[in-house]
Amino acid sequence: MKRDNEKFIIIMKRVWLAILLVFIVIRFILNPQGIKVLLFNISPNFINLVLFLGIIICPIIFWIPKKREVKWLKIAYNIITSIILVFSLIIYLFFYSEIKYFNFKSSYGNRTLIVEEDSFLLSGRSHFYKKSFGIFIKSLNQEISTDDGFRPFSTNSYQLIWEDKDTVRIDYDFGSTGIWKSETINFKRSY
């Protein structure tokens, strides 16, 4: 029984190290370059949250204090972890849970435009990404803004026209006033 427990702890340590490595790569190497992970239209912010919570929760499982005097450290760690967990979930729900992602395949079949739509209070905005290497999306450094937190993609108030294999024109409703605007997205112009 003790041998099985030791194997489980070794496996959990490896899982923890893998989660830590993936989190570091995504958060500190890919994100500064404008690259995010988009898996099954699950928000990259949610993926980061899950990885972060995995990093702080895994040690609870494999940390077994040897002495009675050290047990208070595990209790303190569990309390602090619980507070961080609750605080992280509240922050995520307040700031990041409303972000939606939309995929649009090119009529030429060579490109996929990803739209990240967000609104907060009286402003709405959409950032544009191109899909690259399966689950990764790269920022095109282009965005549109809308009035009163309006979401043109969520409300189907847009029209996409692929002008050529690297350019798409988006006509979208700006907001409650009935004003339509146009934006041209160029896949070659990403920085």
CB atoms within 10 A of CB 168: 21
Query: How would you classify the pairing of strands 112-120 and 100-105?
Result: antiparallel
The pLDDT > 90 percentage for the chain reads 14
Mean pLDDT for the chain?
A: 83
Residue-level pLDDT at 1? 55
CA–centroid distance for 39 within its chain: 9
The pLDDT > 70 percentage for the chain reads 92
pLDDT band at 115 (very low <50, low <70, confident <90, very high): very high
Q: How far apart are the C-alpha atoms of 150 and 126, rounded to whole Å? A: 10
Residue-level pLDDT at 174? 85
C-alpha to C-alpha distances, 68 to 57, 64, 65, 71, 167, nearest whole angstrom: 22, 11, 7, 5, 66
| Tens digits of residue pLDDT in 52-77 | 888 888 777 777 666 666 777 778 88
Q: How far apart are the C-alpha atoms of 93 and 160, rounded to whole Å? A: 31
Residue-level pLDDT at 59? 77
Higher-confidence residue: 87 or 65?
Answer: 87
Detail the DSSP E strand segments found in the chain.
Answer: 35-37, 100-105, 112-120, 123-132, 136-147, 158-164, 167-173, 180-186
Tell whether the torsion through CA atoms of 144, 149, 154 and 156 is positive or negative: negative
Q: Does the pTM of the predicted model rise above 0.85?
A: no
Q: How far apart are the C-alpha atoms of 113 and 170, rounded to whole Å? A: 11
Token pair, residue 76, equals 């303190």
- Rg (C-alpha) for the chain, rounded Å, is 22
Residue-level pLDDT at 3? 66
Place of tokens 């050290």: 70
Residue-level pLDDT at 14? 85
| Tens digits of residue pLDDT in 17-39 | 888 888 888 888 888 888 888 88
Instruction: Name which of 180, 154, 151, 182 is nearest 168 in CA terms.
Output: 182
Query: How is the chain split into domains, by residue range?
Result: 1-97, 100-186
Place of tokens 């409650």: 176
